[in-house]
Amino acid sequence: MTDQEIRAEAERRASDRTDQEIIRKTLDEGVQTVWDRFALQQPQCGFGQLGVCCNNCAMGPCRIDPFGGKTSLGVCGANVDTIVARNLLDDLSVGAAAHSDHGREVVQVLLETAEGHGQGYQIKDVEKLHRLATEYGIQTDGRATNDIAKDLALGILEEYGTIKNRIQLAERAPEQTKEIWRKTGIMPRSIDREIVEAMHRIHMGVDADYVNLLLHAMRTSLSDGWGGSMAATECSDILFGTPTPLTSITNLATLSRDRVNIVLHGHNPLLSQMIVNVAEDPELKRMAEEKGAKGINLVGMCCTGNELLMRSGIPLAGSFFDQELAIATGAVEAMVVDYQCIYHSIPLTAGCYHTKVFTTSTKGKISGTIYKEFKPENARDTAHEIIKLAIENFPNRNPDRVRIPERPMKVMAGFSEETIRKALGGTYKPLIDAIVAGTIRGCVGIVGCNNPRIKQDYGHITLAKELIKRNILVVETGCSAIACGKAGLLVPEAADLAGEGLASVCRLLGIPPVLHMGSCVDCSRILVLAANIAKELGVGIGDLPIGGAAPEWYSQKAISIGTYFVSSGVYTVLGIPPKIFGSSNVLNLLADGVKGITNSAFAVEPDPLKTADLLEAEINRKRKALNI
C-alpha cells in the first residue's frame, strides 16, 4: 500500500484522528486488526445473515430457503419463522446471561464484603444501600451497615432463582408499564429462570410458535434490564460509589510516553477498581521509577473503562475497536481483562509488541495470556501482583516502535440517574417543564458497540450531533459514550452544537448536551430515569417522547438491551440489521406488531441521519398523544 492508500484506508476505517494514526501504524507494520479479519471473511454467509440456518441438533445443520422451495423446513420440521425466532431468542439469552452473571458477581462481592471476606472492599455509598434495602423491605433502623448489606445481597441473589415469581427492582417501573407486562405475560419472574426457560424452549421439539418465542424473548430481556443489569449497577454503586460529574480525558493520547501503561479492559469493575486503588501505593511508584519509568498510568478500555471513568475519573483510552490499537502504540506494558468484548486473538496482537495480557476470570480464559485468577478474598494481592509484573515489563518497551498520538480529548462524565435528578434540584419537574414547553423536544438513549460494517464511531457521532441540533437531549452508555467522548461531545462547550432550546438548558446547568451515563449494564440507569420521569408525569414509559438507538451494535448483549428498551416502551432504531430478515413474520412483529403491546417497536436504519428523522417523528408522535 502507498502512503496515500494507507491514509485513505485509515480514514475509511475510523472517525477519530488518534485511531486513524494508529491504524496507519498497524497497516505499516502489517499487524492484523478487526478490519482485516472482517475483510478476509467476505463474502459472509447470506443464509446466516438472514437468520435462517440452524445448528441446534445433530440432524442439522439445516438452512431454510427463505423464498419457499423444497427446503422450507429443517430436518426436525421447523419452519423459517421458528428458526429465526429461536436464533434470536438464543442470541438475546446469551446477552442477558452475560449482563446478569456479571451482576451476580458484584452482588456476591457485596455479600462477601458484608461478611468481612472481601479483601480491600468496603461499602462506599451507605445512603444507596439504605435506599435499596428499604425497597427490599429490609429493616435499616439502628442496624450495622454490614448486616443490612448482607441481607440486601442475599435478597438480590435470591432473585436469580426466586420462586416468588417477581423481581423487586422491576417494581420501579411505572404502574401503566407493569400492567402491560402483566397483561401480556412478560413480567419477568426471576433472572436465571427466564434464561434457562429460553434454553429449554430453543431445544428441538419445544416452542415452535414464533409469537410465543418472541414474547419470551421480551420477558428474558426484561429480567436483564430490570434485574441482572440493574443489580450490577446498583451494587457497584454501593461498593464503589454512585457516580457524580467529573472531568477526565479520552482517546489513545491518554497513553503515556514515560510511565508504565496498564490498560484495564472488559466489563466488571471488581478487579479493575481494586487495581486503581492499589496503584496509589508509593512502593509501586518507587518500583516503576527503579525500572526507568516516571510512574504508573492506568487507562480504561470499553465498559470497564466506563466504570472507572464514571467513578474515579480514570482516563479512557477507547472503545471496542481500540483494544488492538492501544497495543499497537507499542507503549502498553499490560492489558488486564476480565470478560466480554475481548478479542480472542488479543494475545496475537500483543505478541507483535512487548505487551503482556492478563486474564483474570475463571470463566474467561484465553490461551496465550497470563492467567491471574481474581477472587474477592485475594483481590488486593492479585491487583498488586499484576501491577508489579507490568512494571517489570517496562524495560522491554522498544522506543523505536512506540507511537503515541498527541492531544487527548476532554470529557465530562458521571451522570448517574441520581446526579441528573440532583442537578435539576431533586425533581424532574424542570426537565419535564422544558419538554412540555418544547425547549427540549425529548430524549434519546444511544447505546452499543462498534461494528466493521460501519466506519468506527460514525453512526454514534453523526446521530448524536443531529439529535442535539434538533433539541433532543442525548444520554449514552457503553462504546457509544466513548465515541462521542472522543469526538468532543461530552463537554459543556458542545452545547454550541445543540439547538437553541437544548443549548440554553445545558448552559444553565453547566452540562453537556450528550450525557455519559456509564457502561452497558448502566443502561439500567436509563430505565430508571425514564421510569421516574414517567411516574412524575403519571404515564407509562411507552407514552414518553423518548427513543433509543444502537447505530453500530454487534453484541448479543445489545440485542437484549434493545429488546428491553422496546419491551419497556422505548422505540429503538438499530443501525445494523439483526439476523431476522429471513422471516417476514418475525420482522413484522418486531417492527410493527409489538406496537400494539408496548406502544413502541424496533426499526432498522443504517443511515444515522435518517435514524434521527425516525426518532424525531416518534418523539413528535408521542408529544402529540400527550397533548404537548
Residues that bind ligand BF8 (CB under 6 A): 267, 302-303, 319-320, 341, 448-449, 478-479, 519-520, 555, 557-558
Distance in Å, CB of 240 to ligand BF8, minimum: 17
Q: State yes or no: 45 annotated in a binding site.
A: yes
Sequence-ordered alpha helix ranges (H) in 410-474:
417-423, 429-437, 458-469
Distance in Å, CB of 554 to ligand BF8, minimum: 6
Q: State yes or no: 443 annotated in a binding site.
A: no
Distance in Å, CB of 460 to ligand BF8, minimum: 10
Q: State yes or no: 484 annotated in a binding site.
A: no
Sequence-ordered alpha helix ranges (H) in 115-209:
126-135, 145-158, 175-184, 191-202
Of 123 and 195, which has the nearer Cβ to ligand BF8? Answer: 195
Residues 451 and 553: beta-carbon distance below 8 Å: yes
Q: State yes or no: 267 annotated in a binding site.
A: yes
Of 155 and 448, which has the nearer Cβ to ligand BF8? Answer: 448
Here the cell at position 326 is 492501544
Distance in Å, CB of 449 to ligand BF8, minimum: 3
Closest C-alpha to 98, from 413, 361, 276, 380: 361
Q: State yes or no: 200 annotated in a binding site.
A: no
Q: What is the largest CA-CA distance in the chain?
A: 72
Residues 473 and 441: beta-carbon distance below 8 Å: no
Of 267 and 384, which has the nearer Cβ to ligand BF8? Answer: 267
Of 479 and 494, which has the nearer Cβ to ligand BF8? Answer: 479
Q: Which residue(s) pair with 79 in the sheet?
A: 73
Closest C-alpha to 454, from 326, 610, 250, 607: 607
Of 303 and 308, which has the nearer Cβ to ligand BF8? Answer: 303
Of 82 and 312, which has the nearer Cβ to ligand BF8? Answer: 312
Residues 305 and 317: beta-carbon distance below 8 Å: yes
Length of the chain: 628
Distance in Å, CB of 126 to ligand BF8, minimum: 28
Q: Distance between CA 53 and CA 86 in Å, rounded?
A: 11
Of 376 and 562, which has the nearer Cβ to ligand BF8? Answer: 562
Of 379 and 550, which has the nearer Cβ to ligand BF8? Answer: 550
Here the cell at position 623 is 408529544
Distance in Å, CB of 230 to ligand BF8, minimum: 15
Angle 269-278/80-114 helices, nearest 10 degrees? 40
Distance in Å, CB of 296 to ligand BF8, minimum: 24
At residue 562, the 3 state secondary structure works out as helix
Residue 368: C-alpha distances to residues 306, 323, 487 (Å): 26, 16, 34
Residues 521 and 99: beta-carbon distance below 8 Å: yes
Q: What are the backbone angles phi and psi of residue 215, rounded to the nearest 5°?
A: -65, -40
Residues 276 and 304: beta-carbon distance below 8 Å: no
Q: State yes or no: 341 annotated in a binding site.
A: yes
Distance in Å, CB of 262 to ligand BF8, minimum: 18
Q: State yes or no: 523 annotated in a binding site.
A: no
What residues contact 429, with CB distance under 8 A and at least 6 apart?
536
Q: State yes or no: 76 annotated in a binding site.
A: yes
Q: Distance between CA 25 and CA 27 in Å, rounded?
A: 5
Q: State yes or no: 352 annotated in a binding site.
A: no
What residues are designated binding site?
A: 45, 53-54, 57, 62, 76, 267, 303, 341, 449, 479, 520
